[in-house]
Amino acid sequence: MGVNGNGRPATRVVKIRVRRYDPETGRRWWQEYRVEAKKGTTVLDALLRIKAEQDHTLAMRYSCRMGACGSCGMLINKMPRLACETQLLDLGTDTVTIEPLPNFPVLRDLITDFGDFFKKHRDIMPYIVRESKKENEEPYREYYMPPDELNKIIRFSYCIMCGLCYAACPVVAIDKKFLGPQALGQAYRWVTDVRDEGLRLRLEKVDDKHGVWRCHFAGSCSAACPKGVDPAQGIQLLRSKLVALTAGARREKKPTHVATPTTVRYVDVGDAPKPTVEDKSLLVKHLEETAQELEQDLPYVAQALRDYLRTITSS
């Protein structure tokens, strides 16, 4: 067993306690495994090794292993985290407990059902909504969007829908119908988008007692988010926007701020510039010399050069 620079052993055996669930018998139990961990071993690595070497009945969901897909959200040491972005030795405990994400129905072991979560996301219409029916159904050109407008929403578009905020939210834990931080954060993202005109349609779901008004700013969603999306900020901004709209302090985003597809003009870049070397003789001479030099060592390159030479002299 090697030793690290800090004098601690490079590998350590970590006890992993997994909360398992069998949907056919309805049994729920804790199961213990031992896995050798070294620097860089993630919780997902450990689980996959358990599945490969010790217990292939263990079920979990994962895909990319690099924090981009948002499939492996779990409750690790009672904290909602991505298994692929949590290293075993970083946790600093000899026993690591792994449970399925709370506030989601458990299908088996660590696999949870995201159906409700995705439905709430669909409810807020996570796409550009235009007032004109034709534009919605037959879009034929992109919409204009200045970079500073993109910067206002880009934070919220980094959401990978891993469900950690939904698991962390204390209001979701009580209210089943609450839209949740993910959906409301995305609602703010689409309402703020300059290309969008669907505020009134989204308000049907958002301006509700199970919508934006149910959030009480516990901030847990933002603290749990692995991507820095900050849903808590989005929800507060969405709510203050609603307050301002209702009080008449702020006017609704004017459609004129949004460039319709027809106003996007393409700049005529013209034809390609003329060749700066009019006289081909220098190039021809250079190519012939090079071909002769390479004749001995690289005959096929010399042949290719002669072929090219033929094309430029013939045209």
Partner 1 sequence: MGERRKPRFLENRLGIAGNIIPWVLMIRDNPERVAFVLHRLTGLLLIIYLPVHIFVTSMTVNPQKWEDFLLLEENPLAQFFLWILFGSIVFHGLNGIRLLLVEGLGKGIGKPEPPEPPYKPTSLSSTQRTWLYAVFAIWLVVWIVGGIILFREFGWF
Size of the site for partner 1 (CB under 8 A): 58
Tell me whether residue 126 or residue 261 sits nearer to partner 1 (CB atom). Answer: 126
- Buried b / exposed e over 98-118, threshold 16 CB at 10 Å, is bbbbbbbebebbbbbebeebe
Query: Out of 174, 283, 284, 312, which residue is the one contacting partner 1 (CB under 8 A)?
Result: 174
- Is 69 a binding residue for partner 1 by CB under 8 A? The answer is no
Q: Which of 109, 120, 219 is nearest to 163 (CA)?
A: 120
Contact yes or no for 254/196 (Cβ under 8 A): no
Give the per-residue contact string, 233-272, with partner 1 (x = CB under 8 A; - = no).
xx-xx-xxx-x-----------------------------
Tell me whether residue 217 or residue 308 sits nearer to partner 1 (CB atom). Answer: 217
- Is 75 a binding residue for partner 1 by CB under 8 A? The answer is yes
Tell me whether residue 19 or residue 49 sits nearer to partner 1 (CB atom). Answer: 19
Q: Which stretch binds partner 1 (CB under 8 A): 1-9, 132-140, 163-171, 293-301?
A: 163-171
Tell me whether residue 91 or residue 305 sits nearer to partner 1 (CB atom). Answer: 91
Least CB distance from residue 245 to partner 1, whole Å? 12
Residues near partner 1 (CB under 8 A): 21, 23-26, 28, 75, 77-80, 100-107, 112-113, 151-156, 158, 167-168, 170, 173-174, 176, 215-220, 222-230, 232-234, 236-237, 239-241, 243
